[in-house]
Amino acid sequence: MCNNVVALGNSTKDGVVIFGKNSDRAPNEAHALEQVPAADHPDGSVVRCTYVSIPQVPHTYSVVLARPCWLWGAEMGTNEHGLTIGNTAVFTKVPYETGPGLTGMDFLRLALERAENSIQAVEVITNLLETFGQGGNCGFRTQFYYHNSFLIADHHEVWILETAGKHWVAEKVRDVRATSNTLTITTTYDMISKDTISFAESQGWHKPGKPFNFKKSYGGKGLYPSYLYTFFGRGDGRQNRLTQLLSEQKGRITVASVMAMLRDHGPGAGAGYSPARGLFGNSVCMHTGFGPIRTDQTTGSMVSHLTSTNPTHWLSGTSAPCTSVFKPLWFDTGIPSIGEFPTGQFNQSTLWWQHERLHREVLKDYTHRLPVFKDARDALETRFQEKAASVREKSVDERRAFSQACFDEADCLTEAWTQQVKKEPIKDENPWLYRKKWEELAKDASFYYGSEHGRTNLP
């Protein structure tokens, strides 16, 4: 489950395209930041993706990826040309390929490595899709299959590409757009694969002579469990919520307001909000629940300010944006020193798992513990954003030093906030089933830290 947002220059405060993405995965599925250099490849070479190998191209561009730790591909990322992409799972009437294939995350990385701009990325993905199809298990500890939607942005234009098996449709974004775990393209589209309409007709999903509606034809009440994933995942609700927030702020949208959107828990989330309550509640900032419906949570977030030169990318590198800090980097500065590469097992030497100490302490009493550091976190990000704007055109060394300083300061404060939160008394204990769920997650990841009790620290 994921959420993407974008606002073109005609809808932002400063006239610059702004992209945002939450990656929603399994709670212990650590989120990794990685930069891959550009490379030249000899004739006949192949690239090994998550499950399959395909022919390599002569040259691949350098990319910065924010990806699930165990996958070759990524859920979001950018390349040396400023091309930035996020994907979401979508559930359609077309049967899923459960055997090895290219995953949505593979398509995303391949497009970043092979395309210079958004329209080229559409072409790369659709050509690969029609040639190889999509398939393979995308679940971390479970079997999970889906099709994919992509939000593809550069500083000039943005495209939405939605797929169902080898069928696809693409629409150019005109102002603002949000995508979640549901098809969004209906009767207005700019490109479509040649047999998408005829295949829908052959299946009885579309009546000849009527306006073709991709969402209605390929989505809707289709095969089990596709419809259940769409319904219980609340993809339409999250997409509508983000569209509402984008529309309300059209013309005033900033990096800060997109960050706030990614932290949104819905219109009814007041001061007493807690992710421990409720069976449903799949919000934009997603939190795992105790039952079978809320199984994922936001494990990483990204906001990109896509100026024509030196676009600034804001990455959390950590779960739950409502408890995280967005830190800046520029493509030519690379990813700062952030510790070891994370896995699905607890490792305090990694950025992601260090933050999990704070995150899971907050979850013990979200309502009363988040306020311990929320205002300080917001003030820190405001200072980062103001300084980043002033150094964007400075030398690469100055920007690299500033980026590293931001990551380092956020790292130190995360540790300090963790200790402060631990001292805050638990005033509202979580339901037993919720605590039991997090106990199981902690055991699965060997989530131990500290020596004061010598046992797992649980929400």
The residues carrying an active-site annotation are: 2
Place of tokens 């073709």: 212
The helix, strand and coil proportions of the chain, stated in percent and rounded to the nearest 5, come to 35, 20, 45
Question: Of 80, 155, 86, which is closest to residue 113 (Cα–Cα)?
Answer: 80
> Assign residue 20 a region: left if phi > 0, alpha if psi is -120 to 50, beta otherwise?
beta
Alpha carbon distances (Å) from 335 to 327, 405, 422: 10, 12, 30
CA distance 363 to 332: 36
Q: Are 20 and 88 in contact (CB under 8 A)?
A: no
Round to whole Å and give the CA distance between 283 and 240.
11
For tokens 């995350």, what's the residue? 105
Chain position carrying tokens 């979508």: 90
DSSP string, 256-274: HHHHHHHT---TT--TT--
Please report the DSSP string for 282-343 in residue order. --SS----SSSS---EEEEEEEEEE-SSS-EEEE--SS-GGG---EEEEGGG-PPP-BSPP-
Burial class (CB in 10 A: 0-12, 13-18, 19+), 427: exposed
Strands 59-60 and 147-153 come out as unpaired
Helix or strand holding residue 25 (H, E)? strand 17-25
Q: How far apart are the C-alpha atoms of 53 and 163, rounded to whole Å?
A: 21
Distance (Å, whole) CA 94 – CA 91: 8
- Residue 383's nearest CA partner among 409, 359, 358 is 409
Quick one: DSSP state of residue 443? H
**88 vs 100: CA distance, rounded Å:** 19
Q: Which residues is 206 bridged to in the sheet? A: none
Block residue for tokens 């020193």: 337
- AA identity, residue 274: S
